[in-house]
Structure 1
Amino acid sequence: MRSMKRHFAETNRSSAMAENITEDIIIDILSRLPVKSLMRFKCVSKRWWSLISDQHFVKLHLQRLILENMTPSQKIIRSNPLQTIDYEALDNDEVNDHVVVESHDLGRDEPWGLAGSCHGLVSLAVDDGFLVYNPTTKESRKLPGSNLVAEHEFFHGFGYNSATDDYKIVHGAFFTANDGSKECGLEIFSLRSGSWRRVLSQDVPKLDGVGIYLNGAVHWIVNHGSGNRINQAIIPFGLATETFEEAIPIPKVEGIVF
């Protein structure tokens, strides 16, 4: 009987302490947790579901991940079909390959290529447009297709503009003009506005493939020259200015090929 009374007393004290914890403290604690834990904690209560889903909390959590360099543990190993590998699971000796490598069912929007990645999100090129997908939460957003149409020579990029709190997709294509010269069309999709916009840019470097996002810009490696005189450089595209920035030469290191 005494043990039962003690149990109820301890339970009541714990409930009282929980009610006295301010929402600021809860937010501070939750913002330090990985995304997988937050997905489970959404089921604790309606209050926590609303709190964790709030855009201000999402932004705070992202800022803390970047500040503390807590990158998501899932990495893409294939884009068609989409598969990811969980590095955290590799540390567990009891897991098998089926747990470490996860296949993602995107329904009818199966990707044919990766368009970029940023902050744990990936942009995937699909037949009729693009898809932004979160491999951890399994949430996705279908985007309309660009107006650029070309048979070959596409280049893509995906990144974040902190000045406007906006994610952007860079989509470019090279065309052969009537005189035989190469022309480039360049469009930007803003997730905030939900629309494509044509960007006028002169002297677009000969880009190819998927750019890498870093520090507010998408970067591609380009080759200059021919034969044994090929020099490589990194070409950044600033997402805030939406312009190509000055090329960054890649120094040659003996015995290393980039």
Structure 2
Amino acid sequence: MILCPPPAPREAAPKRKLATMDKLSKQPTTMEKLPEELLSDILIRLPAKRLAQFRCVSKPMNALLSQPSFIKSHLHRSIHNNDEMFMVFYSELCLDGEIPIIAHPSHSPVIENPNFINLPASLTIPPGYTHSSILGSLNGLICFALWPTDTVSDRDPIICIWNPSLNALRILPPYTILASLGFEGIDLHIRFGYDPETDDYKVVKFSRLFQRPVTAFESLSYFKEWLQVEVYSMRKGSWKLINDRFPSHVGWISDFADLSIIGSDGHDGHIHWLCGLNGKITNHAIVAFDLATETFGEIPLPDSIPQYKMDQTKLLGHLSGNLCVMSYMEDGDIEVWVMNEYGMAESWVKHHVFSQFSGNIVPLGFILNKEFLLHDDKNRLALYDQIAAKVNSLEVLATSRFGFDRVKIVSYVDSLVWIAPAN
């Protein structure tokens, strides 16, 4: 008689299955068996969202995709392959507390049926916060702020850094010197930049107290004092106070964040402001903040721009990676001056003079270093293609709900830059 072994207990099968799965998970996949150099060359061609999913495959894969060198190479490829996108922000929040956002490829500026993008669910907009503003856009990261209804409020703005490619969001902690200290008023400036020396993304915040002027003649002398500057490090995940303060002789600031187009200022380790000096309307200078040394400096404007016409200067910008200043002259011409060697006053060169426009044209800046954004006398936003000498209307912005003054246009690229600070 043949004796058969007793049947295995019911729980043995699941144990064997778990053991098999554990064994398989420890075995390298076919892709992981490839040489690292070849594997990197394959993965670098994939979009950031797909690569983020691959991080969960295994520890070696996660280690490869988290390497700073791989992240930089992927970013470099996105930039040079013209994978840039337009993102259109409307500063007025929706009734349900969402920020209206439209994104589309840079080569297709006109959209017939635009779609709105939702921010991550981790962002809850508190009651009373009705407006948003863009503080900067660098290497696929967009920094923005949510503002309360009343500009002189007991609540401070909520500052966020967002990677649209990964749909990852980081809400910054409160800073030390709050805007809600009970003063009569405060002039608050917040900007976003990248420090290539430390591979760190930073937010710079400074403010000054003021008394409201009784008459218009007091408008140039009603500021009290500059408060201490604070810098947030994304790598460290915290704010710190620095010793250097914004130049005291500055009377007013034309901020990049106030413009309709948010360019790449801050990408080279410096943040810039076009400033007027105390008590003077026509005398201007560029104030720069070095993100590595965390100090302020000044850059002179081109000598060839007459001081008496400086009130026509509209904004700073970036063209082909270089700092530029755009001046709207009284005769209707738009001059574009580019600083070929950073910080050297003698390197200012006049690159463009746009004179073929008719009517009242207001220059707003270059977008994606290629096309010139302008606002025409019909209250429309348009892109001017320098090569084709053609103006393309941005119909997506010509909505009845939002005027051009409430629109911010941001360029961003597909990016693997992680939002979380380094351990």
CA contact (8 A) 2:145 2:160 kept: yes
Q: Structure 2 CA distance, aligned partners of 1:118 and 1:92?
A: 20
Matched residue type, 1:123: C
Match of residue 141, structure 1, among 158, 162, 170:
170
Which residue number in structure 2 is paired with residue 23 of structure 1?
36
By percentage of residues, which structure has more helix? 1
Aligned amino acid, residue 121 of structure 1: L
- For the residue of structure 2 that corresponds to 1:234, the secondary structure is strand
Q: 1:62 aligns with which of 75, 78, 81?
A: 75
Deviation at 1:144, TM superposition (A): 0.7
What's the CA shift string for 1:228-255, capped at 9, x where partnerless? Answer: x624443221111111222241545632
> Deviations for 1:122-145, whole angstroms, at most 9, x for unmatched residues?
122245642111122110112111
Mark the CA change 1:64 to 1:236 in structure 2 (over 3 Å): closer, same or farther: farther
- The higher relative CO (CA closer than 8 Å, separation ≥ 6) is in 2
1:49-107 CA distance string (max 9 Å, x none)? 625641433233234445x37463142422454344333287599x86244x4243553
Displacement of 1:157 in angstroms is 0.8
One-letter code aligned to 2:266: Y
Q: How many residues in Structure 1 have an aligned counterpart in Structure 2? A: 237
CA separation of 1:184 and 1:32: change in aligned 2, threshold 3 A: farther
Distance 2:282 2:43 in 1: 50
Provide the rounded CA distance (Å) in 2 between the counterparts of 1:72 and 1:135.
12
Task: Give the AA of the match of 1:230.
Answer: T
Q: Paired residue for 1:245, among 276, 280, 297?
A: 297
Amino acid corresponding to residue 273 of structure 2 in structure 1: W
Task: Give the fraction of aligned pairs with identical amino acids, expressed as a percent.
Answer: 28
Q: Secondary structure at the match of 1:240?
A: coil
- Counterpart in 2 of 1:182? 224
Separation in structure 2 between the aligned mates of residue 87 and residue 131 of structure 1, nearest angstrom = 22
Query: 2:202 corresponds to which residue?
Result: 168
Does structure 2 conserve the Cα–Cα contact (< 8 Å) formed by 1:236 and 1:247?
A: yes
Work out the CA distance in 2 between the residues paired with 1:92 and 1:184.
Answer: 41
CA 1:233–1:214: 2 relative to 1, 3 Å: farther
| Counterpart amino acid of residue 125 in structure 1 | A
User: Which 5+ residue runs of structure 2 have no aligned equivalent?
Assistant: 1-28, 94-98, 147-155, 180-184, 212-221, 258-264, 306-326, 335-361, 364-423
Residue 38 of structure 1, CA deviation: 3.6
Aligned residue number for residue 236 of structure 2:
193
Contact 1:156 1:210 in 2 (8 A): no
Aligned counterparts, 1:197-236, within 5 A: 197-202=240-245, 203-204=247-248, 205=250, 206-207=252-253, 209-210=255-256, 212-224=265-277, 230-236=282-288
**Distance change (3 Å), C-alpha of 1:243 and 1:49:** same
In the alignment, which residue of structure 2 is the partner of 1:88? 105
What TM-score does the superposition give when structure 1 sets the normalisation length? 0.72
Give the conservation status (yes or no) of the 8 Å contact 1:160–1:216.
Answer: yes
Aligned residue identity for 1:134: N
Q: TM-score, normalised by structure 2?
A: 0.47
Q: Deviations over 1:151-172 (max 9, x none)?
A: 4311111111111111110001
Do 2:209 and 2:224's aligned partners in 1 also have CA atoms closer than 8 Å? yes
TM-superposed CA distance for 1:193, in Å, is: 1.6
Aligned residue for 1:169, secondary structure, equals: strand
**DSSP-derived class of the 1:182 partner:** strand
Partner of 1:108: 124
Contact 1:42–1:49 at 8 Å: present in 2 too? yes
Which amino acid in structure 2 is aligned with residue 102 of structure 1? I
Aligned-residue Cα RMSD (Å) equals 3.8
Matched-pair contact (CA < 8 Å) for 2:84–2:105: no
Matches within 5 A, 1:67-78: 68=80, 70=82, 72-78=84-90
Shift of 1:187: 0.6
Counterpart-to-counterpart distance in 2, 1:183 and 1:42:
51
